[in-house]
Amino acid sequence: MELEESFTVDYKRTIDATVDTVAAMANTCGGLVLIGVDARAQDKNLPGVLVGVRPMDKDRLVTKMATTLDPPWWTPEVIPVTVDEYLLLIVRVDPDTAPRPLLHQGAVRVRLDGRNAIADRRLVQLLFQQAAAGAPVHDYSSQPRFAPDKGGIEGRQAFSDHLPDVVIRAATALPLRPGATRPRLHGPAVDTLIQALRTSDGEGRRGLSRRMEFLAEQVTSDALPSAWDIDPEHGHAGFVRLSAGHGLRLVLRTPYPALRMECTASVAGGGTSLEVFVDLFFWPKGGPIPGGLWVQACYEAVRALVHDALPALTEALLGTTALPTPPIELHVSPCPAHRPLEALDLGLLGRRTGDGALRHGSDFLRQDLVAVGDLPAAVTEALRNIALDWRYLHPVFPALTVTYLFG
């Protein structure tokens, strides 16, 4: 299959060093360890030739895990399979069955980008708190859950005068284990989120405000920016919505919006889940939104969620940014919900093979691509699946603009 090593996939030539990876996966998102697969000479992260294992290696591995992991006697499922006459072992690590934190050789290890790392003090403390409180069910539906056309955008006061034509949403839910204190979106947490949304990341990349300006310039050359602010409609210790945007210049003393971004965070499920949305709303003038613009907007929504909002919130609420990124949803929807997606220029998708109105598109981003930080490829892959749902079989998407973030 040529899957790269990631948060949830690892290859081993022998059973040696397997236990360390099992412990790291058990403390994060789980995964699969395939034993009996050599590394590829050109790229160590890709599987090479099959070398197989001996039949006795399964019992040796189970005994090794049961006696060296702490607490002892827990072992994941080990599945022997035969491929091209080679015996392989597949270790399936289910984090919901593991006694977390799971120690190996006196250390707590976690999985990061296809490698194992020692957890810092705050993450170890968080794992112990989660173990004391009991684990929630990690249930990710096969279909995205947070589509914006299900969320009552039409009834919100912010859009009472001018409903947007299109909303693009990146959304996620980070599972939390309720501890002695439930996370609260208090003042310092909101300040941290605002700071992350409007400033550079310290590595020369321009902040989100500059990236929004780049998008707004493509919608209209006559727009005025507004700073990040808290939505005045409602809010409490478990909910906050921040917004910023670009509007057309005053016409008859009435500002008309062009582009608006919102970042919504809420502690849901009685404190067991942190839900985060990044929405981009468009009011195009003079024709449909060009393909290069709405595709780029999908990337910007995902990037703002993964690189800006999530790290800021996990640092402020949980004291660590080492948590793996949960599944990311991408949505493209009209607003109001009963209208088809007439505001999008879909010419770049080629010839359509069916009929009917296009009302929304949704998909999950590939987690292995998100894990290695390849957001452009992950977004493009999700858009290909959305295009297929829209009955476009051979879409050609423009290259996502990343270089303008620097300088």
Peptide bond into 101 cis (omega under 30): yes
Name the residue with tokens 């949803």. 329
Kindly report, residue by residue over 333-355, the tens digit of the pLDDT: 988 767 788 889 999 899 898 88
One-letter amino acid of 305: L
Q: In what order do the strands lie in the sheet with 223-230?
A: 223-230, 239-251, 254-268, 273-282, 166-175, 328-334, 361-364
- For residue 332, the model assigns a pLDDT of 94
pLDDT in tens, the chain (407 residues): 667 888 788 999 999 889 999 999 998 888 899 999 987 766 777 888 899 999 889 888 988 888 889 887 778 889 899 988 899 999 999 887 788 888 998 889 888 767 888 888 778 877 777 666 554 444 444 578 888 876 667 777 777 777 888 999 999 988 775 554 567 788 888 888 888 887 654 444 456 666 777 777 766 666 677 777 787 666 667 888 888 877 654 444 445 677 888 899 988 766 778 899 999 988 877 678 888 889 999 999 999 999 889 988 988 887 776 677 788 999 999 887 677 888 899 998 998 988 888 888 999 998 878 877 889 999 999 999 999 989 998 999 988 877 543 32
Would you call 356 helix, strand, or coil by DSSP? coil
d(CA 196, CA 227): 13
Nearest 5 degrees, angle CA 256-CA 165-CA 288?
Answer: 100
* Segment 349-352 long-range contacts (CB within 8 Å, at least 24 positions apart): 349/291, 349/387, 349/390, 349/392, 349/395, 349/396, 350/392, 350/393, 350/394, 350/395, 350/396, 351/392, 351/394, 352/390, 352/391, 352/392
